[in-house]
């Protein structure tokens, strides 16, 4: 039987039931050999048609295979899949670096870019060549042979270390739990969370309620459980994951892994004559200099700190008055904030959840996409899946043309990596108006699933998360760019990639949209007006504290990648401590090792780029202000312009040019400050 990973292009969708970890090594080895042969033959007569177009297809096929392996490792992680994935990324990292250090390929690209053939190419095709030449330079094409070899080997090591970091976080998360046998200690924990904790205990043949570090459980405990000792114990475990302080064990300590990652990143940047890794990362970002990023983040700290201080002052006054608590600890903040929210706005998450059954939210979300962009979304019932909880949907435009498909896998479970994300399964490929392959996307989350008779009820935060990831999904699916390297989110600057996702979050706060996504699971009534008004009133609750927390992450990440790697084991902690002198308003316990599980920057694509979330908020707030200025949140004229100017364009142009084409000017920060409810003086 042929290896299904090698024939993915023959299938509209991957045959997941036939894919095993044992097939991965053969698939990767063969696709790399095939790719090398294709490239070697193409270099005999290098033209756009003979070299660059075949290379685009070749890379897309390789990335489809790697994508499936990466995906299965993430959603059904086992030691075998982990090892298969680690072997995969090592081989692919080595191969990709070899390609970008192939001087014959580079010279051929230069020749094509200067040829008469290039003059006849459209701007999108020219962008493909421009990106390739840039990537060659960023992969050490100009280095002498010995340094090229070093650069190549370091990239392979880095891929392994980043994967090890992520795996250590997952292993630590899954190897700690807290059994509670007295239900009275879990007062106020929402029904869904209680049911899940009881079921988890039962599955492990334990009596009681088993609390875990999966985020839905952790969030629920920290927000609702009155027992302060439980909150403290959960906080300590969660914030020491993958560190020497972790109560579940030291075997997953990421400290030495982080040091090696930072040393390699610095060496890679220095080899290419960048002063630091932050400069290297900005070579493919909207913001071009480290000063731009630091000034942006520092200015926002200045804007937000006074609002954060007022938020904390209000919380302390409330804690003293209502709970006689004059010494707030970090593990009290979420609980006290929820109590303050309930008292101030007469609203509880439990009350809200009743109006957000998962299916109602999903169908309402799809309805919103229809109203904005004219897209119709239909479920596919018969398909090959990796887990019973997985669903599949197709997206059609107003001309009834299939634009793409997406899977959703929404629930947390063991052996599934934490968080929420969107990734390519298959990218769009076409030529001259003929689409050969429509995009297929994974949309993954980790919501708590109801284990009782009631349907799964989402918190409003989970609704926002779903909208966010669906915004990414639309970006990848609605593209009209046919070249794989710049279609959908591919080739989009990393500090702009969050614009479509953050923009979608806004509709979670609009009455016209909430009517579509809410229906009480018992009464079938939509969110009532009074509850809507109370919800809207909470939108900027503790906005100062929330923003300054994100700024802490962004500043820590960027400063870490700007500064030389220290010799002491504590140098990473020292940088974080320094940032916290400007951002932390409560003392942080000495045991806190949050950085050891900061996967975004140590094993994701946000190294020297976590600021992207906040910069993208500048973009999305500016765009949404255009909708709000017309008082029509479903303004189809603006939505269609955004579709054509941003969503359909992928990475085909410099993103600043795309933004200006839509907005008529560069982005402004004022809309973000307004969105956070910050009232600034006119002076």
Which amino acids are annotated catalytic?
469
Alpha carbons 479 and 490: distance in angstroms, whole number: 10
Cβ neighbours of residue 177 closer than 8 Å, sequence gap 6 or more: 200, 210, 211, 212, 213
Report which DSSP code applies to 484. Answer: G
**Triad 154, 486, 655: Cα angle to 5°:** 95
Is-contact 526 518, C-beta < 8 A? yes
* Look-up of token digits 């694509």: 605
Q: Where are the alpha helices (DSSP H) in 452-541?
A: 460-477, 499-505, 511-517, 529-537
Residue 594 per-residue DSSP state: G
User: 217-255 in b/e burial notation, b at 16+ Cβ within 10 A?
Assistant: bbbbbbbbbebeebbebbbbbbbbbbbebbebeeebbbb
Residue ranges of the alpha helices (H) in 103-144? 103-113, 116-120, 123-138
536 closest CA partner among 671, 352, 364: 352
With tokens 């600057």, the residue in question is: 493
Of 388, 375, 378, 349, nearest to 193 by C-alpha is 349
Would strands 391-396 and 376-380 be described as parallel, antiparallel, or unpaired?
Answer: antiparallel
Structure tokens that stand for 602 in this block: 């140590």
Number of H helices, E strands in the chain: 27, 9
Note whether 404 and 13 are within 8 A (CB): no
As a whole number of angstroms, the distance between CA 457 and CA 447 comes to 9
Q: How many CA atoms lie within 13 A of 658 on its CB side?
A: 23
Report how far residue 465's alpha carbon sits from residue 501's, in angstroms, rounded to the nearest whole number: 9
Task: Find out whether 551 and 563 touch, Cβ atoms under 8 Å.
Answer: no
* Tokens matching residue 614: 């906040």
Q: By C-alpha distance, which of 322, 337, 310 is closest to 222?
A: 337
- Alpha carbons within 13 angstroms on the beta-carbon side of residue 672 total 20
Spatial neighbors of 566 by CB under 8 A, at least 6 apart, are 572, 574
Query: Three-state DSSP class for 441?
Result: strand
CB–CB of 209/194 below 8 Å?
yes
Q: What is the distance between the alpha carbons of residues 573 and 255, in angstroms, rounded to a whole number?
A: 10
Structure tokens at 580: 């916290």
């Amino acid at each position: 039987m042929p290896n299904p990973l090698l024939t993915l292009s023959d299938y509209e969708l991957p045959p997941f039931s036939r894919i095993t970890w044992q097939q991965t090594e053969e698939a990767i080895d063969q696709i790399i050999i095939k790719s090398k042969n294709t490239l070697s033959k193409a270099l005999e007569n290098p033209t756009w048609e003979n070299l660059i177009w075949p290379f685009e297809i070749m890379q897309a096929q390789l990335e489809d295979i790697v994508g499936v392996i990466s995906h299965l490792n993430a959603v059904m992680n086992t030691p075998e899949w982990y090892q298969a994935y680690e072997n995969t990324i090592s081989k692919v990292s080595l191969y990709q670096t070899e390609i970008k250090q192939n001087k014959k390929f580079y010279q051929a690209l230069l020749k094509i870019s200067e040829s008469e053939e290039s003059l006849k190419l459209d701007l999108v095709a020219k962008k493909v060549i421009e990106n390739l030449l840039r990537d060659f330079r960023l992969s050490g094409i100009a280095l002498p042979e010995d340094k090229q070899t070093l650069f190549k080997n370091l990239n392979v090591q880095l891929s392994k270390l980043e994967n090890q970091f992520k795996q250590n976080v997952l292993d630590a998360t899954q190897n700690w739990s807290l059994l509670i046998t007295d239900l009275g200690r879990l007062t106020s924990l929402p029904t869904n969370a209680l049911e899940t904790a009881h079921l988890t205990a039962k599955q492990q043949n334990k009596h009681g309620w088993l609390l875990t570090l999966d985020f839905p459980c952790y969030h629920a405990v920290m927000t609702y459980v009155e027992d302060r000792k439980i909150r403290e114990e959960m906080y300590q475990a969660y914030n020491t994951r993958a560190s020497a302080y972790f109560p579940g064990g030291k075997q997953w300590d990421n400290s030495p892994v982080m040091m090696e990652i930072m040393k390699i990143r610095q060496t890679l940047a220095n080899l290419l004559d960048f002063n630091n890794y932050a400069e290297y990362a900005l070579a493919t970002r909207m913001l071009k200099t480290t000063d731009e990023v630091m000034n942006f983040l520092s200015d926002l700290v200045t804007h937000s700190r006074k609002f954060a201080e007022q938020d904390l002052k209000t919380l302390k006054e409330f804690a003293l008055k209502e709970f006689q608590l004059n010494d707030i600890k970090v593990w009290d903040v979420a609980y006290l904030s929820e109590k303050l929210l309930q008292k101030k706005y007469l609203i509880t998450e439990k009350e809200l959840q009743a109006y957000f059954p998962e299916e109602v939210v999903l169908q309402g979300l799809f309805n919103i996409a229809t109203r904005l962009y004219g897209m119709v979304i239909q479920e596919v019932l018969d398909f090959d899946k990796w887990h019973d909880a997985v669903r599949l949907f197709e997206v059609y435009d107003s001309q009834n043309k299939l634009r793409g498909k997406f899977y959703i896998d929404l629930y947390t479970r063991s052996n599934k990596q934490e968080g929420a994300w969107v990734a390519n399964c298959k990218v769009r490929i076409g030529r001259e108006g003929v689409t050969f392959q429509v995009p297929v996307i994974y949309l993954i989350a980790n919501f708590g699933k109801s284990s009782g008779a009631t349907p799964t009820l989402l918190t409003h935060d989970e609704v926002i998360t779903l909208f966010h990831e669906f915004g990414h999904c639309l970006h990848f699916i609605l593209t009209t760019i046919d070249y794989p390297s710049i279609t959908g989110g591919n080739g989009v600057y990393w500090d702009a990639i969050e614009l479509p996702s953050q923009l979608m979050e806004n509709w979670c706060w609009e009455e016209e949209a909430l009517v579509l996504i809410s229906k009480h699971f018992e009464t079938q009534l939509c969110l009532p007006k009074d509850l809507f008004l109370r919800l809207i009133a909470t939108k900027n609750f503790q906005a100062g504290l929330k923003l300054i927390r994100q700024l802490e992450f962004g500043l820590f990440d960027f400063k870490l990648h700007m500064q030389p790697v220290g010799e002491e084991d504590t140098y990473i902690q020292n940088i974080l401590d320094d940032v916290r002198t400007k951002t932390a308003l409560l003392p942080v316990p000495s045991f806190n090792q949050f950085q050891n599980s900061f996967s975004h920057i140590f094993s994701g694509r946000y190294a020297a780029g976590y600021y992207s979330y906040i910069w993208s908020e500048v973009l999305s707030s500016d765009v949404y202000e255009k909708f709000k200025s017309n008082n029509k949140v479903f303004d189809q004229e603006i939505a269609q312009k955004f579709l054509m100017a941003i969503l359909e364009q992928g990475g085909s142009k410099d993103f600043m040019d795309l933004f200006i084409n839509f907005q008529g000017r560069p982005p402004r920060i004022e809309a973000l400050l307004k969105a956070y409810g910050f009232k600034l003086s006119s002076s």
